[in-house]
Amino acid sequence: MQPRRTPLINVMVNAAHKAGRGLRRAFGEIEKLQVSKKGPADYVSEADHRAEKTIFEELQHARPKFGFLMEESGVVEGSDNSNRWIIDPLDGTLNFLHGLPHFSISIALERDREIFAGVIYEPISDQLFWAEKGKGAFINDKRLRVSSRRQMNESLFATGIPFAGREGHKPFLTQLENIMAVSAGVRRYGSAALDLAYVAAGRYEGFWEQGLNAWDIAAGIIIVREAGGYVSDFDGKDGMLDSGSIIASNDVLHGPLKKLITT
């Protein structure tokens, strides 16, 4: 039996699909994009802005009282103080601009300061990851579960590497060395949202990163949790959106992974 999407999830999915069509078109004409530099090794494209505008308009039309936190446009206050959309219209911008087909759209709903629902859409492969609190996590119409592996030496992990203009290079190298010494491998693909979605799908046993923004991880947090995973910040607490640090894994490996990262 196919899962029944609630009206809330349908609203989020429709917005992601509409923005995804625009990103696919732009990705096919990557050399024609107008690109402006936003910061050190951090670029924003015309396609990025268009995708965010599309998502904003779709969600505002469907839920006109909700507020917004968006990567490009910042905060838009809503008359409903309980509900806020958290949006990354193009997670993996650098991949996109280099013609690498690994990027995503991330949309989360924060309700009363807790992530309540999330959608992560991978436009090129047409993979849709989604979850709503208490209702499970899914890829398209298939139920997701985190990996059941229990041994570090059998496990594959994902991370993000600090680049030019970002702090934490030396601590990261220590973290990486610790994980490399005991794991089956470490991957770095350049989209934190997809890294979390892949943990939920059991493709990775775990993911860790620092220096992230709320829009990078909000949707992924609820998807991993609804897939049976465990998510915390580097202190083992629930402060991921504020601290920008995150560790996601199954309940068995989360503790050992945290210990190796924070030692």
Give 84-107 pLDDT, tens digit per residue. Answer: 999 999 999 989 988 899 999 999
Same domain, 90 and 26: yes
How many residues belong to the chain?
Answer: 263
The pLDDT value recorded for residue 41 is 45
Same domain, 156 and 139: no
Using alpha carbons only, give the angle 227, 233, 235 rounded to the nearest 5 degrees. 135
Which domain does 223 fall in, by range?
152-262
pTM for this structure? 0.94
209 inside domain:
yes
Q: What's the token pair of residue 102?
A: 């690994």
Residue keyed to tokens 């990775």: 204
203 inside domain:
yes
Same domain, 180 and 129: no
Nearest to 48 by CA among 28, 73, 67, 13: 73
202 inside domain:
yes
Give the Cα separation of 36 and 188 in Å (integer): 25
pLDDT band (50, 70, 90) for residue 1: low
The pLDDT value recorded for residue 40 is 46
Same domain, 137 and 202: no
Using the 8-state DSSP alphabet, how is residue 141 labeled?
T
Q: Is the pLDDT of residue 256 over 90?
A: yes
Same domain, 201 and 110: no
> pLDDT higher for 30 or 55?
55
2 inside domain:
no
Give the Cα separation of 161 and 167 in Å (integer): 10
> pLDDT higher for 113 or 45?
113
Using alpha carbons only, give the angle 5, 18, 49 rounded to the nearest 5 degrees. 125
Last residue of a domain, one of 143, 167, 184: 143
CB 160 within 8 A of CB 247: no
Check which CATH number belongs to the domain holding 46 and give it. 3.30.540.10
Last residue of a domain, one of 119, 143, 167: 143
80 inside domain:
yes
Same domain, 181 and 124: no
Question: How many separate domains does the chain show?
Answer: 2
pLDDT band (50, 70, 90) for residue 162: confident
Q: What's the token pair of residue 92?
A: 């993996």
Question: What percent of the chain clears pLDDT 70, i.e. is strictly above it?
Answer: 94
128 inside domain:
yes
Mean pLDDT estimate for the chain: 93
Last residue of a domain, one of 143, 177, 209: 143
Check which CATH number belongs to the domain holding 207 and give it. 3.40.190.80
> pLDDT higher for 197 or 2?
197
